[in-house]
Amino acid sequence: MSIIVYVSTKGGDVLKSSLEAVSYAAQTAETSNQEVVAISVGKVNSMDELGKYGANRLIQVQSSSISSFQPNLIAKAIHEIVKMEGSNLCILSHDLNGKAIAPILSVEMNAGMVTGAVGLPDNSDGFMVRKGVFSGKAFANIKILSENKIVTVMPNSIEKKEFKNTTNVEDVDIELGTPRITVIDQKIASTDVPLPEAEKVVSAGRGLKGPENWQMVEDLAKELGAATACSRPVADMDWRPHHEHVGQTGVAIRPNLYIAIGISGAIQHLAGVNQSKVIVVINTDKEAPFFKSADYGIVGDAFEVVPKLVEAVKRLNA
């Protein structure tokens, strides 16, 4: 039997979040002796990474009707492959692509689903998966009871294990019908890693006083190779774009490093970031609640501390 994993591509390259899903599938397959079959819609440039993270085969679905993002049609394509392979487990990333496709696929496959998994399935008594709930404030262990199953994998939460597989490629033509959504414009941000998948994040809050003071935040992020984020009031006041807003009502992230500058650490903010592996807090107020969730802290003025940090990282990088 095989485990099916859906991979998204950008310009033919497989997204990092999808490689994590491949690795999740491969580590699940390892214990149950199954084959990992990746599915892409359209061409993948290089098989090296897919093989490295454990895909045995890649099925490239060619369909004239999918030239833009059509979740309904992609779900249908995945379901066709699932049937062809006789598989009953499908893995996707819990990125924006997976969030759009997986629920539709779950109806197509009549499959129970756990979204945003942070651990591999536990097969000791049924099929149980761990996921974050209450916006990062707790975890739940959820059993899938149905024969068919879908798991979506939270970005940045699975250790990628290396395999040395060679991925064989097959092309499949599937007639999927006419898309009902017409895409008329697209704004893709530069080549930067999207915030939910970034491994390092530098974030700042109202303590920075105004949008004109963000240069040092961007400098620090650039030197560290990090993405930038912000607290909700900062996005609400339009100091920063909305997609940078992290927290319970913004983007939930779990990078390896989260640096919070001039952010008080309100419970709603913490909810979206407290799964980060290492948290650094820089705040003038030593009583700021954020320090209780921090691994490292500096009690000090961001306007003095941050430029010094930028210089220190520059020296390190030199």
By CB under 6 A, the count of residues binding ligand FAD is 26
What residues between 181 and 210 interact with other proteins by CB under 8 A?
A: 181-189, 194, 200
Helix (H) or strand (E) holding 1: none
Token pair 């520059």: residue: 314
Residue 299 engages other proteins in binding (rule: CB under 8 A): yes
State the CB neighbour count (10 A cutoff) for residue 157: 18
Among 9, 213, 284, 293, binds ligand FAD (CB under 6 A): 284
Name which of 33 and 186 has its Cβ closer to other proteins: 186
∠ CA 105-94-197, rounded to 5° = 155
What residues between 246 and 275 interact with ligand FAD by CB under 6 A?
A: 247-250, 262-264, 266, 268-269, 272
Distances, alpha carbon 215 to alpha carbons 167, 234, 239, in Å: 44, 15, 12
What residues between 230 and 289 interact with other proteins by CB under 8 A?
A: 242-243, 245, 248-250, 252, 256-257, 267-268, 271, 274-275, 277-278, 280-281
State the CB neighbour count (10 A cutoff) for residue 18: 30
By CB under 8 A, the count of residues binding other proteins is 94
Residue 160 engages other proteins in binding (rule: CB under 8 A): no
List the x/- string, 130-149, binding to other proteins by CB under 8 A.
Answer: -xxxxxxxxxxxxxxxx---
What residues between 9 and 38 interact with other proteins by CB under 8 A?
A: 10, 15, 17
How far is the C-alpha of 138 from the C-alpha of 271, rounded, in Å?
10
Name which of 272 and 297 has its Cβ closer to ligand FAD: 272
How far is the C-alpha of 282 from the C-alpha of 285, rounded, in Å?
9
Residue 231 engages ligand FAD in binding (rule: CB under 6 A): yes
Structure token digits, residue 152:
């979506």
Residue 285 engages ligand FAD in binding (rule: CB under 6 A): yes
Torsion of CA 272, 276, 280, 285, to 10 degrees: 30
Among 234, 209, 100, smallest CA distance to 242 is for: 234
Among 288, 294, 309, 310, binds ligand FAD (CB under 6 A): 288
Q: What is the phi/psi pair of residue 35, to 5°?
A: -95, 145
Helix (H) or strand (E) holding 73: helix 71-85
Residue 283's binding partner, choosing from ligand FAD, other proteins, none, with beta-carbon cut-off 5 to 8 A by kind?
A: ligand FAD
Structure token digits, residue 234:
């900062």
Residue 236 engages ligand FAD in binding (rule: CB under 6 A): no
Among 28, 54, 89, 94, binds other proteins (CB under 8 A): 94
Stretch that binds other proteins, among 23-31, 82-90, 210-218, 309-317 (CB under 8 A): 309-317
CA 43 from centroid of its chain's CA atoms: 22
Binding site for ligand FAD (CB under 6 A): 205-207, 231-234, 247-250, 262-264, 266, 268-269, 272, 282-285, 288, 301-303
